[in-house]
Amino acid sequence: MKRERKLGKGVCVIGAGMPKFGMFNDRDSKDLFAEAFKGCIGSVDKGIDPKDIDAVYVGNATNDFFVHQAHWGPIIADVIGHVPKPITRTEGACASSSQAFREACFAIASGFYDVVLAGGVEEMSKLSTEEATEGLAIFSFPDELKHGFTFPSLYGTRAVSYSEKYGAKWEDLWDLTIKSHNNAALNPKAQFNASIRDIMNTRIERAKAKGQPVPEWRDEKEALGDPSFNPLIAWPMHLFDCCPMSDGASAVLLASEEIAREFTDNPLHVIGLGQGSGTSLSLSEDLCSLEGVVYAAKEAYGMSGLGPEDVDFCEVHDCFSIAEVIATEDLGFFKRGEGYKAQKEGITARDGSKPINTSGGLKCKGHPVGATGTAQIYEIWKQLRGEAGERQIPNPNIRIAGTHNVGGHGGTCTFTLFERR
Amino acid sequence: MVESPFNDISYNKFLTEEKLMGSRCTKCGTLFVPPRPICTKCYAADMEWVEMKGKGELITFTVISVGPPFMIQEGYDRKHPYCTGVVELEEGVRVVARIEGFDNTKPESIKVGSPLIVDFIHRDTGEKRKTYLAFKPLESAEKRG
Ligand SMILES: [Zn+2]
């Protein structure tokens, strides 16, 4: 990076929408995106005529594989009544819609467009778990895919390395998992809208109703340590360390700073944009870090003139529990080897000094891969405007927020900073 | 051998012949396994083939109980998980491979740093013949050997 980045023109977020994430056998990508679009348009405080949207960027990772349908740009343009205006599909695996968001920013900053919609969509639940596992594994590098690596396993190897280097055990990640579920329990749009305790109680009730042996867990950690509750997926990642298969969509509306206040008195200003890339496991020098995230963070912090200490809260890409730990270290929130201690001390809780994943994160909110990036921005939008309801961060002074999105196991990495002024 | 392009197709073809091959930049000497057409260190595009000795150590690993369909077809499932990992070769480069010969039902017993020796897992025959790069513990190989 030779110089600090800047946008040619200021860009603001003026609206955001998303449906509840989940696994739906009666819903498809088109109607999920239509709902995200409707919510997004409806969230614009002073209203907007959809006819005024100049262009759309839509992230989709691999519906080609999941539902055997390609060329999602025009399908989405059609369902939201955008034809014949332009739409562009972006693909960066699980970071696809963060890329859509960046392209939307650049399109406005260049002066070419004034109002642009960015969003994402993915429909993963129509395949069996094994088939969908392969659908995600194709986001890895060719040699990894060939040798049977799955997504949880790519992060599993990173967790083994982290454990070797810093001494953190799998059990040390349980506080983080409990925290994610506590947040998701307050998020009506989360796929797992339940705490670990709620899920334990459901299992106990079910066992009683069926006359089966009733589990005797003393607390959440005892349940997480029970293989019948939390089976191994890819060592040391167990079921509750992993994000689910999800269907979902999300959309945000952007406008140039010059006209943003025609639409709302409370826009979010895009103050930092960063993107980096990464290589395969065998070529990653430090398996406890994603070099593309470090690069993206440097770019975004440089553009904003801010540092990690200035970020009031952040949505990070916790496709697996270990990913949240690595993310918070790569973004500079915590020292190397210290990230896993943050939740033990309550720092990353909703009422902590650095709330992380107030939405519940990917693990609990759900991870319809192509929709995740702009869904993270939806959470920032709600929190910074004080509209997050029960899960609102209690600190009334929050002003700066970040979204960190990773495609593959570090191949595509984005970090974006937002400010409420 | 000299004619083969420096790509994954050649790499996989050599694996079926039980050869672990890489490419070395003739200008700066950097070694790449799998091979690459361009040196990403000095950007020279003049490579030569080099065969690896096949000894290394385990850098990291995982044990997978939910695999993709092609691994399930091989008989792996929750009760019979398989191990994959990253191996650093004596020559100084790292590769991803299947890891054999450990008790996969006790992943906590698998030790990072274990000395390993190359193995080749062949599947199917004829046109469909495919070979996976694998490594197994050096000790057990010597005992048997
Ligand atoms: Zn070179």
Residue B126: what pLDDT? Answer: 85
Give CA–CA dist A278/B86, Å, rounded: 17
Q: Is B2 within a domain?
A: no
Q: Is B71 within a domain?
A: yes
Looking at residue B125, which CATH number applies to its domain?
2.40.50.840
From residue A57, alpha-carbon distances to A79, A358, A403, B92 in Å are 14, 26, 18, 43
Residue type, A193: N
Secondary structure class of A270 (helix, strand, coil): strand
Give CA–CA dist A254/A97, Å, rounded: 14
Q: Which of A25, A245, A31 is nearest to A124 (CA)?
A: A245
Which residue in the block uniquely carries the two structure tokens 């409370």? A266
Residue A211: what pLDDT? Answer: 96
Instruction: Look at B64 and A158 and tell me if their CB atoms are within 8 Å.
Output: no
Q: Are residues B88 and B35 in the same domain?
A: no
Q: Are residues B39 and B61 in the same domain?
A: no
The domain containing residue B129 runs over which residues? 55-144
Strand partners, A121: A249
Q: Which of A362, A349, A280, A372 is nearest to A320 (CA)?
A: A362
* Exposure string over B121-144, b if 16+ CB within 10 A, otherwise e: eeeeeeeeeebbbbbbbbeebeee
Token digits of residue A196: 């670990």
Secondary structure class of A92 (helix, strand, coil): strand
Mean pLDDT, residues A280-287 taken together: 94
Which residue in the block uniquely carries the two structure tokens 């440097």? A298
Q: Are residues B43 and B59 in the same domain?
A: no
Q: Are residues B82 and B121 in the same domain?
A: yes
pLDDT at B140 over 80: no
Residue B3: what pLDDT? Answer: 80
Mean pLDDT, residues A125-139 taken together: 91
pLDDT at B1 over 60: no
Secondary structure class of B65 (helix, strand, coil): coil
Q: Are residues B83 and B43 in the same domain?
A: no
Phi then psi dihedrals of residue B97, to 5 deg: -160, 165
What confidence category does residue B139 fall into, taking pLDDT thresholds of 50, 70 and 90? confident
CA A248, A252, A302: angle at the middle one, nearest 5? 115
Give CA–CA dist A259/A116, Å, rounded: 12
Q: Are residues B99 and B37 in the same domain?
A: no
Mean pLDDT, residues A180-190 taken together: 98
Q: Say whether residue A150 is in contact with chain B using an 8 A CB cutoff.
A: yes
Ligand 1 midpoint to CA B44 (Å): 5
- How many pairs of residues across A and B have Cβ atoms under 8 Å apart? 108
Strand partners, A253: A15, A117
Mean pLDDT, residues A289-300 taken together: 98
Q: Are residues B74 and B136 in the same domain?
A: yes
Q: What is the pLDDT of residues A73-92, one digit of tens each?
A: 999 999 999 999 999 999 99
pLDDT at A166 over 50: yes
Q: Is B101 within a domain?
A: yes
Give CA–CA dist B133/A410, Å, rounded: 24
Mean pLDDT, residues A126-145 taken together: 91
Q: Are residues B110 and B42 in the same domain?
A: no
CA B110, B93, B134: angle at the middle one, nearest 5? 45
Q: What is the pLDDT of residues A215-240, one digit of tens each?
A: 999 999 999 999 999 999 999 999 99
Whether the model pTM is above 0.90: yes
Q: Is B131 within a domain?
A: yes
Q: What is the pLDDT of residues B92-137, one digit of tens each?
A: 999 999 999 999 999 999 999 999 999 999 998 888 889 999 999 9
DSSP symbol at A254: E
Residue B142: what pLDDT? Answer: 64
Mean pLDDT of chain A: 97
Which residue in the block uniquely carries the two structure tokens 């990230």? A339
What confidence category does residue B144 fall into, taking pLDDT thresholds of 50, 70 and 90? low
The answer to whether A127 and A66 have CB atoms below 8 angstroms apart is yes
Chain B residues touching residue A154 (CB < 8 angstroms): 62
Give CA–CA dist A99/B115, Å, rounded: 42
Q: Are residues B95 and B125 in the same domain?
A: yes
- % pLDDT > 90, chain A: 97
* Half-sphere exposure in the Cβ direction for A14 (13 Å, CA): 29
Residue A320: what pLDDT? Answer: 98
Residue type, A177: T
pLDDT at A311 over 60: yes
Q: Is B136 within a domain?
A: yes
Give CA–CA dist A124/A90, Å, rounded: 18
Q: Are residues B16 and B32 in the same domain?
A: yes
Q: For chain A, what's the residue count?
A: 421
From residue A80, alpha-carbon distances to A18, A73, A85 in Å are 14, 11, 11
Residues of A assigned a catalytic role? 94, 367
Instruction: Look at B71 and A148 and tell me if their CB atoms are within 8 Å.
Output: yes
pLDDT at A353 over 50: yes
pLDDT at A371 over 80: yes
C-alpha of A398 from chain center = 20
Kindly list the strands in the beta sheet with A87-90, ordered across the sheet, starting from the edge strand earlier in the chain: A87-90, A55-59, A115-123, A247-256, A11-17, A268-277, A412-420, A400-407, A313-315
Give CA–CA dist A69/A89, Å, rounded: 13
Token digits of residue B15: 């694996």
Q: Are residues B41 and B76 in the same domain?
A: no
Number of domains into which chain B is organized: 2
Ligand 1 midpoint to CA B39 (Å): 5
Q: Are residues B43 and B70 in the same domain?
A: no
Q: What is the pLDDT of residues A381-405, one digit of tens each?
A: 999 999 999 999 999 999 999 999 9
Q: Is B1 within a domain?
A: no
Instruction: Look at B65 and A137 and tell me if their CB atoms are within 8 Å.
Output: no
B84 vs A153, A164, A237: nearest CB: A153
Distance from A27 to chain B by nearest Cα, in Å? 25
